Structure 1
Amino acid sequence: MSNFLGEFDCKLDDRNRLMIPANLMKQLPGADSEGLVVNRGFEKHLVIYTKKEWDIIVEDLSKLNQYEKRTREFIRYFTRGATHLTLDKLNRVVLSKVLMDYAGIKAEVILACQLNKIELWARDAYEDQMDSEPENFANLAEEVMGNKARRGDE
């Protein structure tokens, strides 16, 4: 499983091309040959996966019971707009207009690494999201992580 780190300010050029920053490219071995996959996020942003991570997700999805209506709906909405991204020689990818419109992306974006994926946000949407940090982040941490066994205690 990949583990990406960092937050990167980027700009799209007039052809909707996003240059992947050099420090992020170092964390994406094989991306130049295998490409990446971009998809809609659960909030109004996009998510970029390595091809390897996307294949793991698709394998998990294929194990779900597609005879159940809610499962079909989830798969349909989750994979809607998923697109293979090919990097050019300058480590740029072209984002589709449909996905950009979904996420409200214009020219300025933030790439925010989140464990095994990279979130791609319109700059203003990302700032709004981060400005709504819970009043007591420590309480949220306890609620989410409090019942987790400490490493080595399992």
Structure 2
Amino acid sequence: MFMGEYQHTIDAKGRLIIPARFREELGERFVATRGLDNCLFVFPMAEWQSLEARLRELPFTRADARAFVRFFFSGAAELEVDAQGRVLIPENLRSYARLERDVVIIGVSSRVEIWSRSEWEAYQAKADQSYEELAEKIIDF
């Protein structure tokens, strides 16, 4: 399970250090793709394969299913960790998530998300206002 929040920077070549705790669970090779809310989703290979199998079940006759699958898979890239614990984030993914220098890497249960620090702070500010309301709607304590 992935959890926690880490602040990092992307170097001039587009390389990002993945936190050691996340590297252990992600493995040496994993998949990153366009996520929702302008962040990147990062999946360990086993989770990616499970997700791919579920998405394959979507009816290709539905335009919304085709559109989502196209968007999700066309942005996907297999990443490999180098000896320094870094991965090269492809330009198309850096552009999509507005990743320039300062980034936030968060654990979200079965996946990791990579956010531009400014996008993450804006998202948090908005989400903080409705956190308790959301909890009431989706969680039955």
TM-score by length of 1: 0.85
Which string of whole-angstrom CA distances, capped at 9 and with x for unpartnered residues, describes residues 44-93 of structure 1?
11111111111011000111211222221121122231000011112211
Kindly report which structure 2 residues correspond to 1:20-99, keeping only aligned pairs within 5 A, or say none.
Answer: 20-28=18-26, 31-32=27-28, 35-99=29-93
1:129 paired residue number? 123
Secondary structure of the structure 1 residue equivalent to 2:106: strand
**What are structure 2's unaligned runs of at least 5 residues?**
none
Q: What is the one-letter code of the residue matched to 1:4?
A: F
| Pairwise CA RMSD | 1.5
Matched, 1:102 2:100: no
**Hey, which of these two has a bigger chunk of helix by percent?**
2
The match for 2:14 among 16, 40, 49 is 16
Secondary structure of the structure 1 residue equivalent to 2:134: helix
Q: Is the 8 A contact 1:134 1:140 kept in 2?
A: no
Shift of 1:145: 1.5
1:58 and 1:136, CA in 2 relative to 1: closer, same or farther beyond 3 A?
closer
1:132 and 1:25, CA in 2 relative to 1: closer, same or farther beyond 3 A?
same
**Hey, which of these two has a bigger chunk of strand by percent?**
2
Q: Point out the structure with max Rg over C-alpha.
A: 1
Question: In the aligned structure 2, how far is the partner of 1:58 from the partner of 1:66?
Answer: 14
**What are structure 1's unaligned runs of at least 5 residues?**
none
Question: In the aligned structure 2, how far is the partner of 1:26 from the partner of 1:37?
Answer: 15
Shift of 1:136: 4.8
Q: Which runs of 4+ in 1 moved over 4 A?
A: none
Shift of 1:126: 0.4
Question: In the aligned structure 1, how far is the partner of 2:8 from the partner of 2:124?
Answer: 17
